[in-house]
C-alpha cells in the first residue's frame, strides 16, 4: 500500500535537512518495545536496563500511542522547528499544543491502537489539556534517561549523515538523493515520491517542501505522514548506525601514535565521519578544550578540514588524513 508525496516546482527548491532530539526520544521509546529493532542497539539496551530500573520510568502512556499500523499523534513529536533545534525548544512546542488539536490526535491514535475504550485511553480523552502536560513531562523524562546521556554521540552521527547527504544532493540532485536514502523509496522521475509502507495515503506538498531527517532509532523503517499544519517530513535511517556503540579505543595504529602522539592520533582516527568538538570529546573521554586544541593542530597540518553546520563546526579528514589513519597491513 503506497504512501505518496506529490512535489510542485516550489517544493523541489524547499527541501532541507534537520536533526531532532525529540524525534530520537520517541523513537528510542518505540525501539524499547520492538525487538526487531534491537540488533544495532544491544550495548545501549544493556546499559538502559539499570538506568530504567533506577529511574522508575513507566513509558506505557507513550507506547500506548504508538500503534504499529495507523496514526501516531503528531503533536507529541512534530517535525523539527529548525535545522538543529534543542530539546528544550521542541518540548516547549509540545507543551504549547492546543488541547482541542491534541484531542483529535489522541483519539485517532488510541482508536488505531484499539485502546480508546480502555481506562487509560478514556482518561487521556476526558482531559486533553492534562494529557498534553503529562505526556510532555513523560517525554522529557524519557529524554533525560534514554537519550540525553548519549546525545553528543547520536548528534554527531546524525550530523555526519546530513553532511554526507548534502554533498550527495549537490553532486546528483534531489532525484539521485531520494533513490539512495532507503530501498522503500521510489521517485517516478517527475514529481511523485512513493513510499512502500503499510499506510495508504497521499499528500500534495503545496509549496511547503520536504524536511529530510536522519534517525538513529527508526531503522529499518522509513517514516512519513505528518498531517497539516505540520511540514511534510521524511525520516530515514542514518548512515553508520552499525558502529554507533562501538568503542573507538584500540583503532589507532601504534606507528601513527608514535608519529603524532597518542591523543592526537586517537582524535584523527575517531573521525570516521564528520564530527564536532563536543561529540569527539564525549566519544574519547577527553576535555573539549583538549580536543579543540588537537583538532586545530591537525587542521593546520592539512590532515583535517572544517566547515560550519548550524551552531557547530564539523571536522572531517582530508585525503592525507584518511591515508594516515588507515590501518597498514602488517603494522602492529
DSSP string, 108-156: HHHHHTT-TTSHHHHHHHH-HHHHHHHHHHHHHHHIIIIIGGGHHHHHH
275 shares a domain with 229: no
Same domain? 121 vs 182? no
Please say which residue of 192, 212, 237 terminates a domain. Answer: 237
C-alpha cell at 257: 601514535
Q: Are residues 197 and 171 in the same domain?
A: yes
- Residue 249 has a CB neighbour count (10 Å cut-off) of 12
Whether the Cβ atoms of residue 74 and residue 5 lie closer than 8 Å to each other: no
Q: Are residues 127 and 165 in the same domain?
A: no
Q: How far apart are CA 20 and CA 85, in angstroms?
A: 6
Give the per-residue pLDDT at 281. 86
Of 215, 237, 259, the domain-final residue: 237
Does residue 102 lie within any of the structural domains? yes
Judgement on whether residues 200 and 298 belong to the same structural domain of the protein: no
Give every residue of the chain whose pLDDT is below 50, as ranges.
Answer: 330-332
Output the pLDDT for position 60.
92
The reported pLDDT for the residue numbered 302 is 92
Hey, what's the cell of 127?
482531559
- Residue 263 domain flag: yes
**Last residue of a domain, which of 218, 237, 256?**
237
Beta strand 15-17 with 233-237 is unpaired
Return the closest-CA partner of residue 185 out of 212, 150, 149.
Answer: 212
Instruction: Tell me what pLDDT residue 332 has.
Output: 46
Q: What pLDDT, in 10s, does the model give residues 269-305?
A: 888 777 888 888 877 888 889 999 999 999 999 999 8
Half-sphere exposure of 332 (CA within 13 A, CB side): 4
Q: Is residue 119 part of a domain?
A: yes
Domain that holds residue 313: 247-325
The model's pTM is: 0.75
- Quote the CA–CA distance of 239 and 219 in Å, as a whole number: 10
| Contact of 209 with 11, CB cutoff 8 Å | yes
The set of cell numbers assigned to 129 is: 489539556
- Measure the CA–CA gap between 224 and 3, rounded to whole angstroms: 8
Q: How many domains does the chain contain in total?
A: 3
Domain identity same for 260 and 140: no
Q: Which 8-state DSSP code applies to residue 238? A: P
pLDDT of residue 145: 94
pLDDT at 250: 53
* 34 lies in the same domain as 106: yes
Amino acid at each position: 500500500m503506497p504512501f505518496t508525496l506529490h512535489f510542485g516546482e516550489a517544493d523541489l527548491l524547499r527541501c532541507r535537512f534537520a536533526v531532532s532530539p525529540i524525534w530520537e526520544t520517541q523513537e528510542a521509546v518505540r525501539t524499547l518495545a520492538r525487538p526487531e529493532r534491537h540488533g544495532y542497539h544491544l550495548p545501549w539496551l544493556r546499559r538502559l536496563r539499570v538506568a530504567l530500573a533506577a529511574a522508575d520510568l513507566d513509558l506505557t502512556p507513550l507506547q500506548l500511542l504508538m500503534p504499529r499500523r495507523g496514526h501516531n499523534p503528531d503533536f507529541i513529536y512534530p517535525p523539527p522547528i529548525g535545522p538543529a533545534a534543542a530539546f528544550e525548544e521542541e518540548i516547549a512546542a509540545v507543551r504549547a499544543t492546543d488541547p482541542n488539536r491534541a484531542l483529535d490526535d489522541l483519539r485517532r491514535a488510541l482508536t488505531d491502537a484499539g485502546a480508546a475504550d480502555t481506562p487509560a485511553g478514556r482518561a487521556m480523552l476526558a482531559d486533553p489539556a492534562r494529557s498534553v502536560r503529562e505526556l510532555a513531562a513523560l517525554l522529557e523524562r524519557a529524554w533525560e534517561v534514554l537519550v540525553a546521556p548519549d546525545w553528543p554521540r547520536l548528534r554527531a552521527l546524525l550530523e555526519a549523515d546530513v553532511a554526507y547527504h548534502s554533498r550527495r544532493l549537490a553532486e546528483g540532485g534531489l532525484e539521485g538523493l531520494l533513490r539512495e536514502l532507503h530501498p522503500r523509496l521510489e521517485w517516478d522521475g517527475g514529481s511523485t515520491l512513493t513510499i512502500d509502507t503499510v499506510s495508504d495515503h497521499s499528500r500534495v506538498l503545496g509549496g511547503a517542501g520536504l524536511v529530510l531527517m536522519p534517525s538513529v532509532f527508526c531503522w529499518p523503517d522509513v517514516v512519513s505522514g505528518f498531517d497539516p499544519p505540520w511540514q511534510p517530513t521524511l525520516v530515514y535511517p542514518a548512515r553508520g548506525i552499525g558502529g554507533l556503540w562501538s568503542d573507538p579505543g584500540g583503532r589507532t595504529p601504534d606507528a601513527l601514535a608514535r608519529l603524532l602522539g597518542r591523543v592526537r592520533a586517537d582524535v584523527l582516527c575517531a573521525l570516521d565521519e564528520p564530527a564536532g568538538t563536543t561529540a569527539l570529546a564525549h566519544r574519547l573521554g577527553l576535555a573539549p578544550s583538549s580536543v579543540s586544541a588537537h583538532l586545530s593542530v591537525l587542521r593546520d597540518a592539512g590532515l583535517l578540514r572544517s566547515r560550519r553546520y548550524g551552531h557547530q563546526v564539523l571536522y572531517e579528514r582530508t585525503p592525507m588524513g584518511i591515508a594516515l589513519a588507515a590501518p597498514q597491513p602488517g603494522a602492529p
